[in-house]
Amino acid sequence: MVRIGIAASLMFAGSAGAVLAQAGPVRGDAAVATSGQASGPDFLARPFGAVRPLSSGIRLSGPPVQGALLRGKVPTGVVALDLDGVKVPLAEDGEFLLGFHRDAPTLGVLTVNFADGTVMAEPLAIEPRSWRREFIAIAARGGVPSEAFMARRKPELEMIAAARLRASDSTGWRQPFIWPATGRVSGIFGSQRVYAGEPGAFHSGVDVAGPTGTPIVAPADGVVILAAPTPFSLEGNLLMIDHGMGLNSAFLHLSSIDVKDGERVRQGQQIGRIGATGRATGPHLHWSMKWNDARIDPQNLVPAMSALGK
């Protein structure tokens, strides 16, 4: 039997906070304040009561929004979930994560499978965000990548893809996340340049500027799934950590990596140092996150930098 719950899910179309609208450069806390990040210091630990249950009884920690990561809990009797055909891992206590890509469509479907064979389709209204765009009158620099570059790049991309397939039993996904480094926010998630009418790739993470050698720490517990043995052509010294439940972090342009592949790390543990390796115009940390294949905004998981006195 298949049931469809609509009314309970349409209420998610409400406001999710401030969004980006300006087209000029954004620096420091201004970038944090306008990035659409969740209010409060602990996004994932919001009480489930913040949003009414769906028709199936599932509770979420907030409304679905492009770039957001939500925590959820299923009622007794639910044995499987998928979001738009992608399996959603369930913990033994029924908790789970849902991530929504930067360009997620405005309607998603959460399929809920019960032990008695009942299947419910829960439509989720996904709120769009207005991403910062800079319009440049000239065409983008660069051209077709050389054969030499592609020969070097192909194994790098294969290593990154293989790392993302390495699921761990880490429970870091349950923790309130912390900033891996503090300082001036010099780049924000989702921003994009449009060159002579042609959009470039969007910025996939958040950048924190800092002097070369500044320590960075693990934002939550996890397992190292990639510690690049040599600097990659674009990312430089690249470190990736799996936090469990399909959630992982990547740290780019490091001057050094202080942990090893397969190592378990604890929240707050030093894992590397800020640098300018790879394609970088100056020393900074680029922190990006993915839930399964969805790129999400790390600033939604941490307090505003200004709240830390930075």
Region 166-189: mean pLDDT is 94
Q: How confident is the model at residue 12 (pLDDT cuts 50, 70, 90)?
A: very low
Share of the chain above pLDDT 90, in %: 67
Does domain 133-308 fall into CATH 2.70.70.10? Answer: yes
Residue 11 has pLDDT above 70, yes or no: no
Residue 49 pLDDT: 52
Instruction: Tell the CATH topology of 2-17+41-125.
Output: Immunoglobulin-like (2.60.40)
Closest to 259 measured CA to CA, from 232, 245, 239:
239
165: exposed, middle or buried (C-beta count within 10 Å: 0-12, 13-18, 19+)?
Answer: exposed
8 or 129, higher pLDDT: 129
What digits encode the pLDDT tens for the residues 48-61?
556 678 999 999 98
Q: pLDDT value at position 250?
A: 98
Task: Give the mean pLDDT of 4-14.
Answer: 31
